[in-house]
């Protein structure tokens, strides 16, 4: 629990941290790029000159889009996680719970196996499109199945249980497809479900940027209704909250944030779970703070993770999803005894 | 004034409430008593629109309650229920501020902070400000909740009626806090225009604090009126199925008929 001054300090700290981690993740790699080169590259880019040298081109075409994509995806996943935890009033929930990530994985797996048979209509967008569609379908399925049975008070539980079932279906579809797949396809499926940012491009940044801004912008407006949910659904309704509508809104935002982000980078687990947790330890559970800071910390978290993924086994690259879990989980376990939920 | 007219409620094949009509007057403490399963909580939930009223009507003043939007209803009626626990830690003043959520979008106005300050002072919660709600004792939590619920309908300026419904709010409290709550409530009713309807289990408290009692049994009103009229020998025996002499001595001093 922090005073207003300390809250401000946390925010400034997060902003500075974000800036530093973006600069570092753009600078460090197989070729290291100095800050002067970054500035001159951006300058030349703005003036629309073509005479960029090799380092400047690496920065503009590879590093910068990747660093920005990291920021956007991290922010999206962490915000999605805070929304889910607040909606389900459960600190162990993450965005994958209502089928979004596993649906995306199933869509992507289908693409890897069947893609060659499909007419290539959307060129490089076919994979993101397939996984995004999978995510949307799975989430929509969860929502409609869970609201079919009519007992309004318990439908958050229904949402949770339906989510688990749909997750199981999607994951078994992924399993089946990897079993059926020939070797290179199966490897693609495996890599994709561990996440990678190596495919970052300016187009991916543009599309993810749009979904992230829309999604997070809308999420801010839900902070108050979500706070009342901490008292329970009954109390929230007595305060004038339309629970059914809130639930649908959160699901839609969730799809916008997580489906689009996941479709470009694959499944990255743990960010949506650990980031809201860390923040709760830091400044309590007020969703007004949590949602805003989760976006910032999520971005930092994923930027640092991506840096580590690139540097650890240099020049090879570790799948980022493995890194977020392998580092995130022990840190999380160390911090858990310090939580004060009571 | 809350007017209910020919109210019935069925759940499955069971009649929980059967053709109930009554008027709850403002400025007096209306308490509903009755044995388990009499339909007390169902009635409170219907009056607060937590349950729909498929047959019969419920009026706040002259308006049927189904006409209000969730938000405008939240600004005029509040429900104090049994102790609520928070899943995540939160500061006491944040919990109280939740009572003002129906009034603002985004940032609380100065008025909202003023009301919170008022209720915090009124319930002597100053010492709890800054504490984590989940670390409070049961009595303290319930006081914070009472403050939050009243912040929701706090009304010092206009003469418009507000509606406060109590759904067994005293169940887990010790006798000191039970008295404390009811006394604060009676004080408040002198200062602000309120219709108060509550469900209570303890007949002693009911006898001591209520101005009007409604005795429910099997979904119907068995008796209603003043304490002396309702807590008669016949009504106690009919309503609760226990011998009058068993309870008689204990609240002899208030309802000596």
* DSSP character at residue B107: S
> Which residues in chain A are closer than 8 Å to B74, comparing Cβ atoms?
238-240
Q: What is the CATH number of domain B2-251?
A: 3.40.50.300
For range B211-233, the mean pLDDT: 91
Nearest CB to B78; choose among A228, A238, A341: A238
* DSSP character at residue A99: T
Contact of A110 with A130, CB cutoff 8 Å: yes
The Cα A77–Cα A72 span in angstroms is 9
Can you give the pLDDT at residue B221? Answer: 93
How far apart, in Å, are the Cα atoms of A319 and each of A139, A183, A196, A327, B190?
25, 18, 5, 13, 68
Can you give the pLDDT at residue A302? Answer: 94
How far apart, in Å, are the Cα atoms of B228 and each of A65, A152, B22, B212?
80, 42, 19, 10
Q: CB–CB of B74 and A239 under 8 A? A: yes
- Provide the percentage of residues in chain B whose pLDDT is more than 70: 94
Nearest CB to B87; choose among A89, A225, A340: A89
Contact of A287 with A223, CB cutoff 8 Å: yes
For range B35-62, the mean pLDDT: 90
The Cα A11–Cα A212 span in angstroms is 19
pLDDT digits (tens, 9 = 90+) for B134-184: 889 888 888 899 999 999 999 877 778 999 999 988 877 888 888 988 999
Taking CA–CA distances from A224, the nearest residue in chain B reads B101
**What residue segments make up the domains of chain B, in order of their start?**
2-251
Phi, psi of B93 (to 5 degrees): -70, -25
CATH number, domain A4-30+69-338, options 1.10.3470.10, 3.40.50.720, 3.30.420.40, 3.40.50.2300: 1.10.3470.10
For range B232-236, the mean pLDDT: 87
Nearest CB to A286; choose among B81, B87, B90: B90
**Helical (H) or strand (E) element with A13:** helix A4-27
Residue from A74, A96, A101 nearest A263 by CA: A101
Nearest CB to A238; choose among B74, B94, B105: B74
Long-range CB pairs of B186-192 (<8 Å, 24+ gap) are B186/B29, B188/B122, B188/B150, B189/B27, B189/B28, B189/B29, B191/B156, B192/B154, B192/B155, B192/B156, B192/B162
Can you give the pLDDT at residue B158? Answer: 75
Where chain A has pLDDT below 50, the residues are 1, 153, 342
For range B93-105, the mean pLDDT: 90
The Cα A130–Cα A109 span in angstroms is 9
Can you give the pLDDT at residue A153? Answer: 46
Q: Which SS3 state, helix, strand or coil, does residue B117 take?
A: helix
B138-153 helix and B110-122 helix, angle to the nearest 10 degrees: 140
**Helical (H) or strand (E) element with B29:** strand B29-33
Can you give the pLDDT at residue B45? Answer: 92
> Which residues in chain B are closer than 8 Å to A281, comparing Cβ atoms?
none
Contact of B199 with B170, CB cutoff 8 Å: no
pLDDT digits (tens, 9 = 90+) for B117-126: 999 999 889 9
Contact of A104 with A168, CB cutoff 8 Å: no
The Cα B203–Cα B207 span in angstroms is 6
Can you give the pLDDT at residue A82? Answer: 93
Q: CB–CB of A1 and B102 under 8 A? A: no
pLDDT over 50 (residue B257): no
ipTM above 0.90, yes or no: no
Can you give the pLDDT at residue A122? Answer: 60
The Cα B102–Cα B109 span in angstroms is 12
Most B-contacting residue of A93, A150, A238, A294 (CB-CB within 10 A), to test interface: A238
**What residue segments make up the domains of chain A, in order of their start?**
4-30+69-338
């Amino acid at each position: 629990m922090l005073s207003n001054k300390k809250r401000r300090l946390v925010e400034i700290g997060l902003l500075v941290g974000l800036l530093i981690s973006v600069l570092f993740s753009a600078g460090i790699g197989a070729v290291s790029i100095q800050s002067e080169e970054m500035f001159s590259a951006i300058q030349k880019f703005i003036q629309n000159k073509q005479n960029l040298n090799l380092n400047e081109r690496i920065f503009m075409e590879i590093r910068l889009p990747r660093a920005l994509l990291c920021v956007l995806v991290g922010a999206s996943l962490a915000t999605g996680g805070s929304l889910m935890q607040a909606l389900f009033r459960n600190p162990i929930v993450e965005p994958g719970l209502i089928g979004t990530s596993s649906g995306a994985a199933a869509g992507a797996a289908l693409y890897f196996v069947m893609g060659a048979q499909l007419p290539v209509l959307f060129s490089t967008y076919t994979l993101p499109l397939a996984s995004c569609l999978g995510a949307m379908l799975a989430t929509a399925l969860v929502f409609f199945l869970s609201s079919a049975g009519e007992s309004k008070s318990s439908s958050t539980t229904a949402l949770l249980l339906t989510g688990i079932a749909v997750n199981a279906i999607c994951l078994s579809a992924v399993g089946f497809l990897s079993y059926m797949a020939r070797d290179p396809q199966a490897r693609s499926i495996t890599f994709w479900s561990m996440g990678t940012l190596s495919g970052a491009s300016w187009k991916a940044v543009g599309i993810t940027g749009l979904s992230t801004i829309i999604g997070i912008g809308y999420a801010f407006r839900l902070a108050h209704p979500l706070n009342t949910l901490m008292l329970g659904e009954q109390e929230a309704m007595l305060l004038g909250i339309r629970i059914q509508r809130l639930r649908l809104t959160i699901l839609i935002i969730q799809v916008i944030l997580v489906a689009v982000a996941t479709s470009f980078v694959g499944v990255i687990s743990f960010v949506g779970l650990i980031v809201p947790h860390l923040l709760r330890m830091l400044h309590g559970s007020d969703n007004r703070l949590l949602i805003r800071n989760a976006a910032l910390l999520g971005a930092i978290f994923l930027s640092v993770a991506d840096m580590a993924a690139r540097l650890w086994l240099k020049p090879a690259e570790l799948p980022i999803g493995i890194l977020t879990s392998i580092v995130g989980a022990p840190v999380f376990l160390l911090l858990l005894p310090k939580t004060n939920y009571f | 004034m809350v007017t209910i007219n020919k109210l019935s409620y069925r759940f499955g094949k069971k009649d929980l409430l059967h053709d109930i009509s009554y008027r709850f007057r403002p400025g007096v403490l209306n308490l509903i008593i009755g044995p388990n399963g009499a339909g007390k909580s169902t009635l409170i939930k219907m009056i607060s629109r937590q349950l729909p009223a498929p047959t019969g009507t419920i009026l706040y003043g002259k308006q049927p309650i189904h006409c209000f939007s969730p938000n405008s209803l939240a600004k005029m009626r509040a429900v104090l229920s049994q102790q609520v626990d928070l899943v995540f830690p939160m500061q006491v003043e944040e919990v109280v501020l939740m009572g003002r959520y129906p009034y603002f979008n985004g940032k609380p106005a100065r008025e909202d902070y003023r009301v919170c300050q008022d209720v915090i002072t009124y319930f002597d919660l100053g010492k709890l400000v800054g504490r984590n709600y989940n670390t409070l004792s049961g009595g303290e939590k319930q006081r914070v909740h009472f403050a939050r619920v009243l912040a929701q309908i706090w009304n010092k300026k206009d003469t418009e009626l507000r509606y406060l419904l109590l759904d067994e709010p005293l169940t887990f409290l010790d006798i000191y806090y039970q008295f404390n709550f009811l006394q604060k409530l009676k004080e408040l009713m002198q200062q602000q225009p309120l219709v108060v309807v509550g469900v209570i289990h303890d007949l002693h408290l009911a006898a001591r604090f209520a101005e009007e009692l409604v005795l429910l049994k099997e979904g119907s009103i068995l008796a209603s009126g003043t304490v002396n009229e309702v807590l008669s020998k016949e009504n106690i025996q009919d309503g609760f199925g226990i011998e009058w002499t068993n309870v008689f001595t204990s609240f002899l001093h208030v309802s000596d008929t």
